[in-house]
Chain A
């Protein structure tokens, strides 16, 4: 399966600021998926990122709040903009390679104060 390097692993940020999370995959993938896991809850899909086109956002998530870049087939970034304490969550990226199941990055634990 693919190996995903995600960073930062954790951060504490001031409200009103933005944080950019990076995911690097060790193989080329068509789609990359970004998830949010709020404290004590399951994973919710934020958006799907395809190289060369705008990301597709799920209901309740908008590009202005969570802009995504996908400059090539191995890399993507998610920015959490104008943060508030409600954005405190774990953010994860994921890919699926060769039918072996979805692999997840180790996650970015974000705390907004």
Chain B
């Protein structure tokens, strides 16, 4: 596709339920990032993928959070046993490691997660 896409755009879930958030990066982008943006705040780094591997998981806030990436493309962020403090916008970004635009991140529109 032309840009990074994320689904769903909005998700409302009950406390304690599991949720899966999906990110489709720009074709050919090897790097993929997940961020969390709480209301009125900046972006909090969660995890970074290079290809299918995640060399940096340091931002995942707890073991309820996990992410995977398959085929060097689609990534899924899973939150188990959701809590109200998980409510936020989850942003995905991808970037290329080559050429003049290397390291520039291209963001998806985000998924707004609301835990009730």
Q: Do A and B come from one complex?
A: no
Report B's interface with A, CB cutoff 8 A. none
Report A's interface with B, CB cutoff 8 A. none
